[in-house]
Structure 1
Amino acid sequence: MQTHLSDSAKQLARGDEAESILRSCVHCGFCTATCPTYQLLGDELDGPRGRIYLIKQVLEGEPATASTQLHLDRCLSCRSCETTCPSGVQYHHLLDIGRAVLMQKVPRPLGQRLLRLGLRAVVPHPALFKALTRTGQALRPLLPASLRCKLPARVAPAGERPAPRHARRVLLLEGCVQAAFSPNTNAATARLLDRLGISVEPAYQAGCCGAVDYHLDAHQQGLQRARRNIDAWWPAVEAGAEAIVQTASGCGAFVRDYGHLLKQDPHYAAKAARVSALSRDLVEVLGNEPLERLGLCPEQRMAFHCPCTLQHALKLGGQVESLLSRLGFTLTPVADGHLCCGSAGTYSLTQPELSRQLRDNRLNALESGRPQVIVTANIGCQIHLHAAARTPVQHWIEVVEAALQPDIDPA
């Protein structure tokens, strides 16, 4: 694609990157076939190719409008288009650049600004989020249905975590929402890893991965959270931690991008690259471990929802399914497994109508094989699918850990 970036666009910190991405697009349109919002709306501007044109126009000096912003806002950032693209277009980086430019040129309505500020003020702070969650549960009958469905009626207790005792050690990103809505996910992970001879080393100063801020018009705040995490993890990294593990693929996708996003930071570029290289989704850690020796009793029929961040961003599609099948679980068929459930971080709150349509379509596919439970690998998907109050939804590691025989350790 030919480009003629304006002088102001060329001066952007990521101007050269934007031009390179634009030029890699051959506007073939293959991406539209797998774009969830294009499939729902049938509008070229609500597909990747149309959005690329909109970003190109703005970077070339054309006026930016509220309509332009709306089409970019409707993008789920699911990155299904990147999996489909034969030219390897790094669409999500171009989208980040385009949204940042739009943020400067098109003021948001007051309601949108307040919603985004509110989400950023609450979600990345686990203690505050947990306190508000408990308050919401106590007041659940009084809440509007749109908010009530987001709150779990009850939260399964986390259970005990083993103290570090093994030579093999990993770090674990605790996350934000997960600590309040599904605390047993990371606890189950720590217990299972302990039985495999791997200890989870605490990193108390680490916090939100930064994705919430970054994707809600606050790039610098998101990157600052990334820097704080790098500082918190660095002593353990230098001491030989094997990996930085994420049980939420959405967080994992962002941590994996630390090296790219901070490559121009002279103080953090090398450290960020190292952290990204050590970043592992949980399935990558467990894939080669002797789980069978733990003695599982897999009795549930389950459908696996593969999050977009797992399959399109981390390129790990099929790995959880293979692991579950290897362990003896019965997986039911799921049509159109590449499609998004509509969670997409805070998308279910900023674009609720589209999000609900996508969720219902996904649930219909997931429930077609009559599973007893739906399992997934990302807390956002878990909450969003569970909010429909249909088939129970859990993180896959909780189901695996619950199926372990308690008195067997690997030889």
Structure 2
Amino acid sequence: MQTAFTPEQLQDPEVARSNEVLRSCVHCGFCTATCPTYVELGDERDSPRGRIYLIKEMLEKGGAPDPAVVTHVDRCLSCLSCMTTCPSGVHYMHLVDHARNHIAAHHERPAPDRLVRRLLGFVLPRPGLFRLALIGGLLARPFRAILPGRLGAMLKLAPARLPGRSPLEGARVHRAEGTRRKRVALLQGCAQVALAPEINEATIRLLTRHGVEVVVAEGASCCGALNHHMGQHDAALALVKGNVAAWTRELDGEGLDAIVINASGCGTTVKDYGHMLRNDRDWAARAAAVSALTRDISELLEAIDLPAGAPPEPLAVAYHAACSLQHGQRVRHAPKLLLARAGFEVREIGEAHLCCGSAGTYNLLQPAMAERLAARKVGHIEAVRPDVVATGNIGCLMQIGGRTAVPVVHTVELLDWATGGPKPRALMR
């Protein structure tokens, strides 16, 4: 693709990077076949190729974007399926992230939209505040069917009960059983801590049982993805730097063999820290080191050669591949191989490459499209008649779990159960 940025514009490293991405696009259109919004809407402007054109014109022009451009960029899930499909290696993620930052800096959204985005950006990364919000959601659940738009969508996603605090919350070091094979840092996350603390509990049990010491680094918090994808650039970078500093202290202390993420949406962002801070001379090297050490939990379990197990009950598992894992991190086979090795019957679902509609805050900001994609995904899941659904991302777990009677659990909960841990709570209800 030809671009027409001025030399002055190209002095900005973000524009220079977007220029590289744009010039790598050859207009082939392969991405349209795997884009969830294009598959649903059939509008070229809601395809990656169409958005690339719109973003190019917006960035070249500079200043306030056309409201129509904002609409079509907002509809993008950042599922990154287009990056898996693209034969030219177009790094769409960096381009759309830059577009969102540009929109946030130059576009005045309506007051209700600004308020919702600020609330989400402030509350979700803070587990304490998020718990309070969930309590409010529980009280308002009886009214969820009559509330319109985003309010109704938020209440539909609120859990029917509020999980208690994990007994492991606050503990900094979890010692390995037997001989220590590895020492890793675990990102506890933000929304996951409040919504499903059993995921971190299962992760810690599984790793320590197999000789891995788990440390929760002091000062590590939200990965910054939620703010980053809403164009809240400064808030995102503050969280990124806090995590890089926390994990660097551990690296400089007793050392780390890996930084483990069990929410794949977070993992995709942490693996991109090196890019996000590449132009900051004080942080670039440390951020790159953190990204290089980051592993999804399934990658680490595969690397330590998790022994074969046998679940106490024979179960058919429909594996839902989170977009951030299969497209963002290109981790496609490890979770299924681990589940099969543990003795579960793994069933593939149709259109596995398409997003479920969760996508961070997307299901709150774009509820109509998210609902369509969720219905499509649940239809494919139920068609294979599984006993349980396994996934590697908290957002997918909540999005799918609220729309089907089939229990939905994190992959690590099943692996923990098959190798000596307790039965996942969702399977006991």
**For 1:164, which of 174, 199, 202 is the aligned residue?**
174
Unaligned runs of 5+ in 2: 423-429
Amino acid at match of 1:195: R
Q: Answer yes or no: is the 8 Å Cα contact 2:206–2:421 preserved in 1.
A: no
Q: Distance in 1 between matches of 2:30 and 2:421?
A: 49
CA 1:243 to 1:189, structure 2 compared with 1: closer, same or farther past 3 Å? same
CA 1:158 to 1:298, structure 2 compared with 1: closer, same or farther past 3 Å? farther
Q: Answer yes or no: is the 8 Å Cα contact 1:149–1:388 preserved in 2.
A: no
**For 2:240, which of 226, 229, 250 is the aligned residue?**
226
Greater CA deviation, 125-134 or 157-166? 157-166
CA 1:106 to 1:164, structure 2 compared with 1: closer, same or farther past 3 Å? closer
Tell me how far 1:295 sits from its aligned partner.
5.5
**For 2:190, which of 176, 183, 192 is the aligned residue?**
176
Amino acid at match of 1:102: I
Other structure's SS at 1:291 match? coil
Aligned residues: 407
Backbone CA RMSD of aligned residues: 2.0
Tell me how far 1:139 sits from its aligned partner.
4.8
Question: Which residue in 2 is equivalent to 1:243?
Answer: 258
Question: Which residue in 2 is equivalent to 1:263?
Answer: 278
Question: Which residue in 1 is equivalent to 2:101?
Answer: 100
Question: Which residue in 2 is equivalent to 1:2?
Answer: 2
Question: Which residue in 1 is equivalent to 2:307?
Answer: 292
Normalising to structure 2: TM-score of the pair?
0.90
Question: Which residue in 2 is equivalent to 1:315?
Answer: 330
Other structure's SS at 2:27 match? coil
Greater CA deviation, 64-73 or 127-136? 127-136
Identity of aligned residues (%): 43
Q: Distance in 2 between matches of 1:30 and 1:406?
A: 44
Unaligned runs of 5+ in 1: none
CA 1:181 to 1:266, structure 2 compared with 1: closer, same or farther past 3 Å? same
Structure 1 position 147 matched with structure 2 position 154: yes
Structure 1 position 49 matched with structure 2 position 70: no
Q: Distance in 2 between matches of 1:121 and 1:36?
A: 28
Question: Which residue in 2 is equivalent to 1:402?
Answer: 417
Tell me how far 1:298 sits from its aligned partner.
4.9
Structure 1 position 278 matched with structure 2 position 293: yes
1:56-105 deviation per Cα after TM superposition (whole angstroms, max 9, x unaligned): 11222277211011000000001100100000000110111122222333
Tell me how far 1:187 sits from its aligned partner.
0.8
CA 1:3 to 1:293, structure 2 compared with 1: closer, same or farther past 3 Å? closer
Other structure's SS at 1:292 match? coil
Tell me how far 1:332 sits from its aligned partner.
2.1
Q: Answer yes or no: is the 8 Å Cα contact 1:230–1:272 preserved in 2.
A: yes
Tell me how far 1:300 sits from its aligned partner.
1.7
Question: Which residue in 2 is equivalent to 1:88?
Answer: 89
Tell me how far 1:405 sits from its aligned partner.
3.2
Q: Distance in 1 between matches of 2:162 and 2:134?
A: 10
Q: Distance in 1 between matches of 2:74 and 2:6?
A: 23
Other structure's SS at 1:60 match? helix
**For 1:188, which of 199, 202, 210 is the aligned residue?**
202
Q: Distance in 1 between matches of 2:318 and 2:241?
A: 37
**For 2:349, which of 321, 328, 334 is the aligned residue?**
334
Q: Distance in 1 between matches of 2:365 and 2:166?
A: 34
CA 1:56 to 1:148, structure 2 compared with 1: closer, same or farther past 3 Å? closer
Amino acid at match of 1:40: E
Tell me how far 1:154 sits from its aligned partner.
2.8
Greater CA deviation, 353-362 or 295-304? 295-304
Q: Distance in 2 between matches of 1:296 and 1:393?
A: 16
1:23-77 deviation per Cα after TM superposition (whole angstroms, max 9, x unaligned): 1111111111111000111111100001110111122227721101100000000
Tell me how far 1:112 sits from its aligned partner.
1.0
**For 1:373, which of 388, 391, 396 is the aligned residue?**
388
Question: Which residue in 1 is equivalent to 2:426?
Answer: none
Tell me how far 1:337 sits from its aligned partner.
0.7
Tell me how far 1:204 sits from its aligned partner.
3.0
Tell me how far 1:363 sits from its aligned partner.
0.7
Question: Which residue in 1 is equivalent to 2:427?
Answer: none
Amino acid at match of 1:106: H
Q: Distance in 1 between matches of 2:57 and 2:153?
A: 37
Amino acid at match of 2:335: V
Amino acid at match of 1:130: R
Normalising to structure 1: TM-score of the pair?
0.94
CA 1:59 to 1:148, structure 2 compared with 1: closer, same or farther past 3 Å? closer
Q: Answer yes or no: is the 8 Å Cα contact 1:243–1:279 preserved in 2.
A: yes
Q: Distance in 1 between matches of 2:286 and 2:303?
A: 27
Structure 1 position 358 matched with structure 2 position 370: no
Question: Which residue in 2 is equivalent to 1:22?
Answer: 22
Tell me how far 1:293 sits from its aligned partner.
5.6
